[in-house]
Structures are given as structure tokens and as C-alpha cells.
Amino acid sequence: MNDVRNELKRMFTAYWEYLAVHTACKLDIFDLIQAKHNTYSDVLQKLSLNVDTAKLLISALVTQGYLQQNENKYYLTDKSVLLTERHPLSLKNACILWGMEHMDAWQNLEKTIRTGVPTFDNYFEYISTKPNKLRNYHRAMYEYAIEDYKNITKKIDFSSYKSIMDVGGGLGALIENIAKVYPNKQLHLFEKPEVIDLLSNSEKINQLQGDFFEDIPNVSDCIILSRVIHDWNDKYAVNILKNVFKALPVNGTLIVIENFADKMPDKASLLSLNMAVMCKSYERTKNDYLNLLQNTGFKWQSTKKLNNLQYIIIAKK
């Protein structure tokens, strides 16, 4: 019984460590130390921090293994180096993301459970008018995506398609991986204008602006929807899929990449709660996705596993 009590007590305050690291990321402390501003006085001077509370934060980062101290200087560890902006496998923006609106929404979980009403009427519309939040969200999703989609061309043979379009593809991690293997393909990234504005111009990938709720351009015989449908309830999901159907030629291919709730150990209960508080959606089962595809005119072709969480559905128009 004592072990269980201790486990519960640790769980109650687990967010202390996360929010300390979250704050360090927001303050760019790890980036400063990486740039050799790595004395306590350097950090204070660069950030204009309160002496007493800054000392407590730095001490917590040391004791939790995010910083090492040698005399009066601090150095990054294997954990904190992944929380710097320029690391190729950085998770800095992801760390910042989960401690902002998502944290606020979870604070309102009781209200959502009682009423079924999410914290945001439309989270994506909310961040679209706030450039810093929009940039943070898409950079965070990119940080996950570079790992999630690194083997995409080993799982899917794209050689038979003339043109491939990633619809709602964020900052383009998935389509970039396709471009590395198929540099001569016609490749398109379709996103809202404010997301396209976050990107640099690309010689390999055509950047198309629009809204998948309104119209999707007829430019590709293969369209990818990766981790898009789960953000929306059935009404909106059907709208997206109908527009994809219109955009594809006869015999065109739709590739859907999603988690399958029925394949996850906890049936995606916590992930679905997150969707519920953020945007009134949920993680679906394989059959849920197959039903959505069938109801919008698509014919299922095959299903395969992409990584530890995600599955690929291939369907035809």
C-alpha cells in the first residue's frame, strides 16, 4: 500500500518538473548556455531575471539532470541538448506547446466532461490569428513528424504516381522525405496561407495555399492526409474527405495516416480526452476510418503499420 501511495504522490506533482523545463525553453536558457553564456551571471544578465527565483530554477534543472555544473559554469546534458532550437532532433517547440493552451484546456477538463463542450470552439482558427502560437504549433508538429515519417518511402511505393500532394501537411516534413527519394516527382504541399507564410521557398515542393474545407486543387493522382482527420469530428471529417474525393482523378489514391485507437494499449483514452478538450474530436478505430472512407465514396485497398503508433490506409476513388 505504501508503494501505491508513493506512486500517487509522485504523480500529483509530476508537472513541477515539466513546467520548470517548459519555462527554461520559453526563456531560451538552454540555447543561451549552448551559446557559451553559461555562467549564472550570464543567464541573469541576458534575461533580466529575478535573482532568487532564477537560482531556484537553475538548481532544479541541475538536480533533474537537464544541466551539469562545473564550478561556476553550466553545461547541457543529453536531455537538454534536445531542447535547443537548432538541434536536428529538437523537441523545444513541443515542450513549449504542451504547457500553453493544451495545459489550460486540461485545467477545464471537468467542464468538458460535464458538458461535452471543448475549451476552444476551433483551436486551429484561434492560433491562425496569433503568429507566435501558430509558429510554435507547427514547429512542434514538425519536430514529431521528422521522426514519424522518416521511413515513409520504405512503407509506401510512390513510384507509380505522377504527382503527390500532402494536404494539411504543416511545415512539410512528410513531403520532404518523399522528395529525398523521388526528386523528379511533382510534389505539392497544400496548407492555409498563414502556414505557407512560415515556409521558405522550395525548388522541389510546390506550395499551394487554400482551405481543405472549401476546395482542394485537382493537381495530383495521390493525396496524403496525415494526422488531419483525427482533429475533426465526423461532420468536418466528411467535408474534408468529400473535397479530397473531388480533387482526385478516377482511380486516384488517398493515403490516410492515423493512430488506430483499437490498436493502442489504453484504447487512446488519454489522447481522445486531449482531443475532446481541444477540439471536440477523438482518436478513431480502424473501422471508424474505413466507415468514413466508404461513406465518402472511397474503396479501401490496404492497411499497414507505419511506426509504433500510426497506421497507413490506402484507398481508391
H runs (alpha helix) in 35-190: 40-47, 51-63, 92-97, 101-107, 109-115, 123-128, 131-148, 152-155, 173-181
Specify the DSSP class assigned to residue 121: S
Confidence of residue 153 (pLDDT cuts 50, 70, 90): very high
Parallel/antiparallel/unpaired status of strands 73-76 and 67-70: antiparallel
Task: List, for residues 173-208, the tens digit of each pLDDT value.
Answer: 999 999 999 999 999 999 999 999 999 988 899 999
The CATH superfamily of 123-316 is Vaccinia Virus protein VP39 (3.40.50.150)
> So where are the chain's domains?
2-87, 123-316
* CA–CA distance, 198 with 172 (Å, rounded to integer): 11
Question: Residue-wise over 26-63: b if at least 16 C-beta within 10 A, else e?
Answer: ebbbbbbbbeebbeeebbeeeeebeeeebeebbebbee
- What is the dotted CATH code of the domain comprising 2-87? 1.10.10.10
pTM, two decimals, is 0.95
Question: Residue-wise over 124-154: b if at least 16 C-beta within 10 A, else e?
Answer: bebbbeeeebbbbbbbbbbbebbebbeebbe
Helix (H, G, I), strand (E, B) or coil at 65: coil
Task: List, for residues 224-274, the tens digit of each pLDDT value.
Answer: 999 999 999 999 999 999 999 999 999 999 999 999 999 999 999 999 999
Average of pLDDT values for 50-72? Answer: 95
Task: List, for residues 15-37, the tens digit of each pLDDT value.
Answer: 999 999 999 999 999 999 999 98
The DSSP bridge partners found for residue 51 are none
Could you give phi then psi for residue 171, rounded to 5 degrees? -90, 5
- Grid cell, residue 200, equals 521558405
Q: Which residues contact 110 (CB under 8 A, 6 or more apart)?
A: none
